[in-house]
Amino acid sequence: MDTSRRHRWLRAALLVGVAYVLVGRLFALPADHVHVWRLAAWIASGAAFAAHIGYELFTLRNSPRSTAWHAAVAVAIGAFGLAVAGMINAWLSASEIRATWLLALVVWPLITAVPAFLVAFVVGTVLARGLTR
């Protein structure tokens, strides 16, 4: 894999990861109709996830395994960013950081990246097989 191609997937993963953080933080701001905003955040995150898988498969022409790995990295970046944001928010309101927030820096990326990998791998495999027929 040449350097420019490697940077393309990494840039995409960083961009989508930042999008997850922004969606998670910005959609949590409105105080009215919390359930609607939460649903909108899920839809926006799902669209970003689907677009990332499509970009990896169709533009970069990556294998389903690479696509799944790259999508999982983006999800882990987003989860890590949200854990950091939550930790900062907790610190600003309580002037202390509890150990659970330090644990969240590791656990949140793991518990989101593993299912993201599995879903992206299945979707990528189905789409790749559909294209070869």
pLDDT digits (tens, 9 = 90+) for 42-64: 999 999 999 999 999 999 999 99
More confident residue, 102 or 51: 51
Contact between 71 and 116 (Cβ < 8 Å): yes
d(CA 24, CA 41) in angstroms, rounded, equals: 7
First to last CA, the chain: 26
pLDDT, tens only, 3-29: 676 689 999 999 999 999 999 999 988
Q: Mean of the per-residue pLDDT values for the chain?
A: 91
Percent of the chain with pLDDT over 90: 71
pLDDT at 99: 86
Question: In sequence order, which residues have a C-beta less than 8 Å from that of residue 118 and are 6 or more positions away?
Answer: 68
Contact between 104 and 47 (Cβ < 8 Å): no
pTM: 0.89
Angle in degrees, CA 50, 89, 83, rounded to 5: 40
- What are the structural domain ranges in the chain? 3-132
Check whether 133 has a pLDDT greater than 90.
no
